[in-house]
Structure 1
């Protein structure tokens, strides 16, 4: 049997090596940056315009620095917002209004044309009322929309409307609005003053797992939707080195090299007793994958972001039964719809990938029907 291998000239190999060096150099230009001290760190998928090249960011994630060096994100149909914080691992961003009236901005918020969306949405009834002792009824007016002779309230339930009517005030219904909130509907807020930061998330690019593993995402090329996770500790050969080997040695040699690397990694993982990555293309433990829930079902479960009060649908749910750690403010929890039990989002996702049962009641959650069924 005769094998034919593609032979490249020394000049071509030199050009390949130079291109690999250029790739590494361009990645170094996309280092972390900030608009000013104490401002959020900006890195992929975000980039600061006129300070970093387009290859350093992802379409729709352009950042600018304001006149006071504040971090600004402009939404296509809602204008500019001040960025307060960015959680790259959870893919969440906190924003507020430059003029300190977030309520006015939220009431006309339009996220279409942007990669961002709310964690949850809830409907609110707006009322304009004459002054009364609203604190007696647990109601909070929207300060920046209210005046000396009137107060504006955003109510989320009929119970809140009843409390407002009992205040013996003259109220006029303005309109019904649908706004993003940090909590699901069963939080039962009486009224909301819109004083908290606007918290949004994004789905693409999916760099959360890369960030959790200590890596950094980067675009394959400018304006490309394809991203690569790099700089992960103990990740093995750099992408540029594998590219050079692939081009120079040909496909057969690379297949042999990858097989050898997979064999070595498998031996090391078995020796260390580690589990395989959940997104691995080679499923080394097929029984585990079959026993757990699929990714689509797990992603469909509602998330809860804890506030300072750490209120949950069930008062006794104050500790994650998987990691045995008490919940803290600003942590993201996930709820199993059938039994309403809450857990840390990362904990329950890993659990459900391995076991299709609730850790507390052992009930089996329902799977989503296959796509197209």
Structure 2
């Protein structure tokens, strides 16, 4: 066959898409732009009148203006020009069509929109119209001012007494306004949380609906540029008429595309990691909290510091929202929780999704864990104390230890929890433990060994002796070790068979009972379900007894505890008895202890 005929045939095939591989066929949801240098529009966004509705996520529709600007229309007829879309950070950069964001503020309402203000600094403002002004013009809104009058914005906490407003009239109030708008910056940043396609972008892939039912999303490999390949193939065939040249050209193009894609993927991954590193909990308004909890419909529980409700961020993401009591303290628990949790990222520590500080209303938003707390599974008063196997109890103990070790050694500053107890150990769907409730936490430098405290803190039964009395030593990270040991023994004790021969069973102190049993070489009277259960119970018991030694210097660090729990139980040795000898009354926290083996340096608490 003549080469010109081959070239003509290839040209026809390229033009009609006949016999081409699937990756060269047209993509009904392929990436588009309103203009050459405009933002790329792809899932979760879609372009009206140019793409089918199912190409995008609800609320992410864009359109092109007559001047080829990319337009986003928000509720209440608020319109914005989209200059850039950062799919990896899930962030859009928008401009006002009239170059005056304050003009649209009275209509801004993002409660029904998938977008939120990226600027965490949001305040309430009062807007004044002034016919004459001789003072500071820092708060002047130039784009709203006109001949003979100026418009000024003052934050709600601004002391008006310092300002002469005799020639001014208050015209309206604005709530939860980002600072960047009032500074009359030209670009507004909005972000979105759902759909969460950032991981796809970080892997160098795109995101789309998983099924036609549009209930979930998935990642998929980037499609190649269909039209560009067709044009280049057609030009090569028409010009040269040689199949060989076409193949050479295509191979060269693939090499170039692969190298370019690899560099772009690497850049996306680097951007994603930088963005993740800077990730902070989201700040919600009280109206957001009411919407998330469906007007506080589903109450999960109540404690000394507040009430917890079940909430929902999306169809698939549930959260637990703690509404803090207004009458409790001076807000120290709230500041502790947000300041501490915002720095923590560990599989065995609960994640703080966001918080609310709206006037006197304060709330904390966490991941929702369906299995609730460890207390539910180890206390016969709250549920089935035998619901967890000994292997699972051992896994829970190890996860708790790793979480506390991370708090003590894995952060920039050492975090002392001071309230380790079963109620504050939450369990996810797979019964993985997560430490929660940092309202009593303290920060200190890792090179210091103790903190000064003016009052005892924690929960009775789990508080270390030195927290009550300095006769036992100074307060340090070893106080958390003691609390962890009491939780371990409670995990074992929940499965203990009560000795019917002992009168007044309610008065049996399990830690002392179990120590005496092991010290006398007796078998622990616990329920044994299968081979190996007794060995696990004995290991957990010995580790717990090491942790509850009266004096801090006699307790192991959490790093050593992790090693003991990961090792074989038969290699552990019994610790010294933390109790009085048989026949004597058990030592209580008010009794003076023996001198410390070494002094612990006292430091001030970190601010």
Contact 1:142 1:152 in 2 (8 A): yes
Counterpart of 1:48 in structure 2 is 47
Q: In the alignment, is residue 207 of structure 1 matched against residue 194 of structure 2?
A: no
1:159 partner SS: coil
Cα shift readout 1:176-235 (whole Å, capped 9, x = no counterpart): 21134168xxxxxxx924334332222211112222232211112457131101228xxx
2:102 partner SS: helix
Cα shift readout 1:73-101 (whole Å, capped 9, x = no counterpart): 11232332211222212222222321222
Q: In the alignment, is residue 61 of structure 1 matched against residue 113 of structure 2?
A: no
1:127-276 matches, cutoff 5 A = 127-134=128-135, 137=136, 139-159=138-158, 161-165=160-164, 170-181=167-178, 192-222=182-212, 224-231=214-221
| Structure 1 runs not aligned, ≥5 long | 1-20, 184-190, 233-297, 304-335
Alpha-carbon deviation of 1:148? Answer: 1.9
Aligned pair partner of 2:413 in 361, 364, 370: 361
Cα shift readout 1:303-358 (whole Å, capped 9, x = no counterpart): 9xxxxxxxxxxxxxxxxxxxxxxxxxxxxxxxx95388799x9x965797884468
1:200 partner SS: strand
Q: In the alignment, is residue 102 of structure 1 matched against residue 101 of structure 2?
A: yes
What's the C-alpha RMSD, in Å, of the aligned pairs? 4.1
1:228 partner SS: strand
Equivalent-residue separation in structure 2 for 1:197 and 1:45 (angstroms): 22
Structure with bigger gyration radius: 2
Cα 1:182/1:127, change in 2 over 3 Å: closer
Cα 1:204/1:130, change in 2 over 3 Å: same
Contact 1:124 1:156 in 2 (8 A): yes
Equivalent-residue separation in structure 2 for 1:76 and 1:213 (angstroms): 33
1:55 partner SS: helix
Cα 1:77/1:370, change in 2 over 3 Å: farther
Alpha-carbon deviation of 1:58? Answer: 1.0
Cα 1:59/1:201, change in 2 over 3 Å: same
Equivalent-residue separation in structure 2 for 1:53 and 1:26 (angstroms): 17
Equivalent-residue separation in structure 2 for 1:56 and 1:92 (angstroms): 19
Equivalent-residue separation in structure 2 for 1:76 and 1:178 (angstroms): 17
Counterpart of 1:79 in structure 2 is 78
For CA contacts below 8 A with separation 6 or more, give which structure has more relative contact order. Answer: 1
Contact 1:132 1:169 in 2 (8 A): no
TM-score by length of 2: 0.34
Equivalent-residue separation in structure 2 for 1:230 and 1:86 (angstroms): 19
Cα 1:182/1:146, change in 2 over 3 Å: closer
| Structure 2 runs not aligned, ≥5 long | 1-20, 223-278, 285-333, 352-402, 428-436, 438-607
Contact 1:125 1:177 in 2 (8 A): yes
Cα 1:54/1:299, change in 2 over 3 Å: same
Equivalent-residue separation in structure 1 for 2:411 and 2:178 (angstroms): 28
2:125 partner SS: strand
1:128 partner SS: strand
Equivalent-residue separation in structure 1 for 2:155 and 2:338 (angstroms): 21
Alpha-carbon deviation of 1:126? Answer: 1.0
2:207 partner SS: strand
Cα 1:99/1:56, change in 2 over 3 Å: same
Cα shift readout 1:350-371 (whole Å, capped 9, x = no counterpart): 7978844683322257999969
